[in-house]
Amino acid sequence: MASLLSLPKPFSQNPHFPTKPAAHSHSLNVIPRNHSFSGRGLLHFQHGSFRAREMRVIRSSNQTEAVPDYSIQVSDVPLLTCSEAIERLKTYRENQHGKQQFLAMYSSIFGGITTDPAAMVIPIDDHMVHRGHGVFDTAAIKDGYLYELDQHLDRILRSASMAKIDIPFDRESIRRILIQTVSASKCKTGSLRYWLSAGPGDFQLSPSGCHQPALYAIVIQDLSPFNSKGIKVVTSSIPVKPPQFATMKSVNYLPNVLSKMEAEEQDAFAAIWLDGDGFIAEGPNMNVAFVTKEKELVMPQFDKILSGCTARRVLVLAEGLVRDGKLRGVRVENVTVEEGKKADEMMLIGSGILVRPVVQWDEQVIGDGKEGSLTQILLNLIIEDMKSGPPAVRAPIPY
């Protein structure tokens, strides 16, 4: 393991970075077919950026519109050395001020952990990048513990098997690498995301040219405040993934992205997928559950959707509410849209949002339009489980 986890010297400690870009320029002229042009325009690069100097009017058979000139003069595009490219990556990262901070990354390609965000990169010829041949998972970091690490690790290994991706190390070695990556990050509260891919090699469709499978992991600290306010959801018009792909957690998330964007365009938090038979399936990256008027917790079956680790943990914790008389029962079965919209409470469940109450679905108000009391109880149970649950769901980090 020592050879696998040897720490590379952070790029920020290298004093020999040249900063002057090498001069390199050429011109490129591209004229699209079947268009006529009037006027003159110019796009040019200057110090790493480009702008349209003029516009041409392009007339086609059915429309006239102003677009940038396609006769492009490219100049001042530097040919960078490796150290110059890395220096620019560092500058790029330093200028990003998002709510997420990347504290540490492991890569089996360079065989170690780095805490320099500029070095947190994946080879462009990795099959995960250009063919989507990769799987991933995420575990929450809470108070210095990884929550449900083993459950998430088991799932990524199942996903890798379904995606026909060999694993670069055995399960226990992967587990140690993930824990050491969090330890190096010094992060006490955040998330650990990790990928298994077919690995780099070439740009062919088949992974037969990939040299070896790859493991990547990154520790993320999210500065966004936690929000448990009730949300609106809509029914997704984006086709649901077929079960073979929906039940594995692969990096092919374009349908999920489009579904989330569709929701945001309608001022909603998420869009709900229906399966091929019209039953309720899942959200773009979370499971869905309901509390019926009979006070039963109902969740769609996992045979056609992703088996959510947090959702399954909610089912376990909910059994305690049955024993206490707060719930009459817990069921996992097909749920119709009509049943879902008539429920007393609705919630989304996932490692990123934990348990989030839903107060409106399309135009239908759920229950009394307020955050459900049992939804709040389940959220509190998950939060308490993350803080003081049994060793089976909490893996300590040796900082």
With respect to residue 205, please indicate whether it lies within any of the assigned structural domains.
yes
Query: What gap in Å lies between CA 287 and CA 270, rounded to an integer?
Result: 11
CATH number at residue 122: 3.30.470.10
Torsion-angle region of residue 331: left (phi > 0), alpha (psi -120 to 50) or beta? beta
Domain that holds residue 144: 82-222
CA distance linking residue 15 with residue 87, whole number of Å:
11
218 with 268, same domain?
no
Spatial contact of 208 and 157, defined as CB atoms under 8 Å apart: no
What residues have CB less than 8 Å from 337, skipping those under 6 apart? 235, 274, 278, 280
pLDDT in tens, 161-207: 999 999 999 999 999 999 999 999 999 999 999 999 999 999 999 99
- Asked whether residue 350 is assigned to any structural domain, the reply reads yes
Give the total number of structural domains in the chain.
2
Confidence of residue 66 (pLDDT cuts 50, 70, 90): low
**Per the domain annotation, does 372 fall within a domain?**
yes
Are 241 and 362 members of one domain? yes
Residue 377 and residue 249 share a domain: yes
Amino acid letter, 314: V
Catalytic annotation, pick one of 142, 241, 249, 260: 249
Of 167, 198, 222, at which residue does a domain stop? 222
Are residues 264 and 385 part of one domain?
Answer: yes
Alpha-carbon distances of 49 from 43, 74, 85, 183, rounded to whole Å: 10, 11, 15, 39
116 burial level (CB within 10 Å; 0-12, 13-18, 19+): buried
Q: Which residues lie across from 141 on neighbouring strands?
A: 146, 190
Report pLDDT digits (tens) over 31-64.
343 443 333 333 333 344 444 444 444 444 445 5
Q: Is the pLDDT of residue 3 over 50?
A: no
pTM: 0.81
- Dist CA 78 CA 238 (whole Å): 42
Active site residue 249: yes
Indicate the pLDDT class of residue 98, thresholds 50, 70 and 90. Answer: confident
Is 323 found in the same domain as 177?
Answer: no
Residue 1 lies in a domain: no
Classify residue 48: in a domain, yes or no: no
Residue 170, number of CB atoms within 10 A of its CB: 8
Please check whether residues 244 and 330 belong to one and the same domain: yes
